[in-house]
Amino acid sequence: MERYYQPEIETMPRDQLRALQDERLVKQVRHVWDNVPYYRAKMEEKGVTPDDIKGVADLHKLPFVTKADLRDAYPYGLMGKPKSECVRIHSTSGTTGKRVMAFYTQHDVDLWEDCCARALTAAGATKEDVCQVAYGYGLFTGGAGLHGGSHKVGCLTIPISSGNTERQIGFMQDLSSTILCCTPSYAAYLGETMKEMGLGPDDIPLKAGIFGAEAWSEEMRQDIQKTLGIKAYDIYGLTELSGPGVSFECSAQQGMHINEDHFIAEIIDPDTGEVLPDGSKGELVFTSLTKEAFPLLRYRTRDICQLNYEPCSCGRTHVRMAKPMGRSDDMLIIRGVNVFPSQIETVLLNNGYAANYQIIVDRVNHTDTLEVRVEMTPEMFTDNLGEIDKRQKQLVDGLRSMLGLSAKVKLVAPKSIVRSEGKAVRIIDNRKI
Ligand code: DLL
């Protein structure tokens, strides 16, 4: 039977949910106008005042907020509360020079942890469970968010953080962990390490995993479910909006329910900014409804996906988002063709490879080149050049039909591509553009 953490909200009839959103949006816009001069100036520039916003139907009148705004206003310029009322910051790693910093009041932390508790409950967690939180702790939101959610559910929480893979497996065995929270690439690595240690799914009591923070394909889910002997649930979120738990999968595993009492989602055309009709694929835009310290109106995530308003078999009424195909800034444009790493991953996994690959892009004589390096699995490892050549050709064909592009494929030895404990780094773009 499906369990809910906050049933009255998670299964609220949509007309009531809409009324709740209308009421909260009016308040959130007023809060931003009164307390965030940066955003007020943007509204004034667009000729909008809080009086123009009576509910969700007026959302389109508001200006967008982008990553560039976050950079402009860094670090304190978008805060809706004085520092003295904030209790926490989190931040992205900023390795690409785009550090994002978000602030939280105690109330913000509380609501965020509720969202994570909903995700854990949807994956079957109860107070009887032992929950191993192997997302990174610290500035990254993964560890803190799932940790807080796990406490709220009442699980025995193991704040192990990421890394030290053999110790992770030891803890799972010694403490009988039943729920694992980490990135999907780290879950795959844990599975691989277990195999090397001679352990199979029956040697660990895990029953569910809550994996997110990066794009992962359906094929990768099947692989992880098999290796770890669990049901693998997707969870989505971003630092700007709190962290994990903006949306999460239920037992149906058919898209992630967005916590619509806290966030309104829109899909827009990334080029024109126009709101697209229900069911269209485009850029996901979020408006926070309840945030105090770091409210965001119409924030452009750059994540490309689709929304599904069909009722879900789990009984939750909140809209579902498809797995994001990747960020529009992860999207590679190769010889004019849009390529998402997740499409490449699908081809590799469909051909029996694991998700250990790297995509190398370069420009030679003014032409883009795409090379995919993929590890052979230990079972397929061979030094028979004819066999390697055959396998490479098979992948070249698969990639051509998926992407409409020719790519070079290089099979490499097992374990030669570096493993990730957090988000995997799969793209090396050497083009100087
Ligand atoms: O990754 C928050 C998080 C932590 C989510 C743990 C889930 C679990 P950021 O580091 O700010 O926050 O990165 C946010 O990661 O815009 C997406 O591009 C991507 N992302 C997050 N979850 C998923 C997912 C955390 N389930 C960015 N599928 C987002 C695909 C995801 N992409």
* Residue of 214, 221, 258, 328 to mutate, ligand 1, most atoms within 8 A of C-beta: 214
Residue boundaries of the structural domains of the chain: 1-328, 332-429
Query: What angle is formed at CA 281 by the lines to CA 52 and CA 347, rounded to 5 degrees?
Result: 155
Distance 47 CA to ligand 1 centre (A): 33
Per-10-residue mean pLDDT, the chain, length 433: 96 98 98 98 98 98 96 94 98 75 97 98 98 96 98 98 96 98 96 96 98 93 97 97 98 98 97 95 97 98 95 98 82 88 92 94 91 94 93 96 94 93 90 71
Q: Which amino acid is at 352?
A: G
Amino acid, res. 329: D
User: Residue 95 has what pLDDT?
Assistant: 62
Element (H, E) at 35: helix 14-35
Predicted local confidence at residue 97, as pLDDT: 62
Mapped onto helix, strand or coil, the DSSP state of residue 97 is coil
The pLDDT, as a whole number, for residue 366 is: 85
**1-328: CATH topology:** Rossmann fold (3.40.50)
**Which of 139, 216, 236, 302 for a ligand 1 pocket mutation test, highest count of atoms within 8 Å of Cβ?**
236
Cβ of 247 closer than 6 Å to ligand 1, yes or no, is: no
Residue 36 and residue 79: Cα distance in Å, rounded? 6
- Using CB atoms within 10 A of its CB, is residue 97 exposed (0-12), middle (13-18) or buried (19+)? exposed
Sign of CA dihedral 2, 219, 346, 199: positive
Beta carbon of 249 within 6 Å of any ligand 1 atom: no
Q: Which pair of tokens denotes residue 145?
A: 């968010």
Q: Tell me the CATH number of domain 332-429, given options 3.20.20.140, 3.30.300.30, 3.40.50.300, 3.40.33.10.
A: 3.30.300.30
Whole-number Å distance between alpha carbons of 52 and 58: 7
Question: Residue 48's closest CA among 30, 35, 66, 72?
Answer: 30
Residue type, 343: Q
pLDDT at 338: 87
Q: Are 249 and 121 in contact (CB under 8 A)?
A: no
Q: If you measure from the C-alpha of residue 385 to the centroid of ligand 1, how many angstroms do you get, rounded to a whole number?
A: 40
| Ranges of H-type helices in 47-140 | 67-72, 106-122
What are the start-end ranges of the E strands in 352-421?
A: 357-364, 367-375, 408-412
